[in-house]
Each structure stands twice: as structure tokens, then as C-alpha cells.
Amino acid sequence: MKTCAYCGRENDDAFVACLECGTELVPLEPPLPMRLSRRGRMALCAAARVMSGLAIAAMPALIFLVPLTVFAAIVYLPLYLPFLLSFLLKAQEWASLRWMLRIASAASVFMWLSGTANRPDFGDDVAGNIAGASHNFSWVWGSGIACTFFAVVIGLLWRGILYLRATIVREQV
């Protein structure tokens, strides 16, 4: 049976044209398998070896890179979390708090950079490195929590003032 390429009707093998639409029935030839030359096969094998070697070489870096990224995300959480939380506040009445959280994020980054830029020298030994890391950590978390706290307080006060103002305007009308 021959199938028409245009309308899909099955016709006997003896027919030259489709009985349904009149389209010429051409026997379908199976596609030829792709053949590579010897050089092509050798190049393909060499490329596969290089790529697998690169993948094996990159594994140790990935094993150390993923936990380091997670650690950095946790350490610097107070700097970017207020900014991310500000996008959850979509209602117009919370616009003041939304903008204060964004400002708090920028202010905490500024405070962290200014506090760690002039840190005292703790030395080059292990204890000095630990003291420097704890100094940096306290500046990150201290500035982030303090700026977020003040931003939330100011944002809520600002929202309260706007609410009272709207209530007074409604009572006057």
C-alpha cells in the first residue's frame, strides 16, 4: 500500500496517482545512514575524550564551589534579604515599607563596606584570620539587621501617617 503524501489516503501499489486527490504517488525511500570518514570518526572520538576529560577535571571544583556558594549566601543574607522581601509587598498601601526595605538593603551594603574597609590589622596567623572573619561577619549581620529594623520601623510609621491622613480626609468629606 502506498500512502499519499498530500492527503494521507492509502492506495494500492499499482496506482500511480492518489484516488482521493490525484497527487502523484512516489515511493518513499528510506533515508541513507550518515557515514563518517575515518578522519571524521577519529575527530569525533578525540572531541569526546577531551570533553570527558574536562568534565572529570571540573568535578573537584564543583564539589567545592557549591558549598562555598551556599555558605556565602547564608553569610550575606542580611544584606540582600530586605531587597528580596520588598518584592513580596505588592499592594499600594505597603509602598512605603517596600521602598524602605530597598533603601535598607542599600544602606546595609554601604555600612558593611565602610566598616570592613578600615578594619584593624589582626595579624597573619590563624587567630588573626579568625578575628578578621568574625569582624567582617559582625559588620555584615550588624549592619543588615540594624538597617532592616530601622527601615521596618520607619516604613510602618510612614504607612501609619498616610493612613491617618487618608482617614482625616475621608472624615472631612
Grid cell listed for 39: 578522519
Residue 71 included in any domain = no
Q: What is the 3-state secondary structure (H, E, C) of 28-82?
A: CCCCCCCCCCHHHHHHHHHHHHHHHHHHHHHHHHHHHHHHHHHHHHHHCHHHHHH
Q: Provide mean pLDDT across the span 106-130.
A: 82
pLDDT average, residue stretch 74-102: 91
24 and 89 assigned to the same domain = no
Same domain, 26 and 109: no
Q: Environment class of residue 153 by beta-carbon count within 10 Å: exposed (0-12), middle (13-18) or buried (19+)?
A: exposed
Predicted local confidence at residue 27, as pLDDT: 67
Q: Same domain for 84 and 164?
A: yes
Are 83 and 15 in the same domain? no
N- to C-terminal Cα separation, the chain: 85
Percent of the chain with pLDDT over 70: 96
* Arithmetic mean of pLDDT over the chain: 86
18 and 91 co-located in one domain: no
Indicate if the pLDDT at residue 92 is higher than 70.
yes
Is 88 a member of any domain?
yes
Residue 88 to residue 91: CA distance in whole angstroms:
9
pLDDT score, position 30: 65
Q: 26 and 91: one domain? A: no
Assess whether 21 and 96 both reside in one domain.
no
Residue-wise pLDDT for 2-56, tens only, equals 888 888 888 888 888 888 888 888 766 666 677 878 888 899 999 999 999 888 8
Average pLDDT estimate for 100-129 = 85
Owning domain of residue 92:
76-172
From the number of C-beta atoms within 10 Å of its C-beta (0-12, 13-18, 19+), residue 118 rates as exposed
Residue 20 lies in a domain: yes
**26 in any annotated domain:** yes
The answer, yes or no, to whether residue 121 has pLDDT greater than 70, is yes
Mean pLDDT, to the nearest integer, of 81-85?
93
Q: Does residue 85 share a domain with residue 165? A: yes
* Number of folded domains that form the chain: 2
Q: What is the pLDDT of residue 32?
A: 66
d(CA 91, CA 97): 10
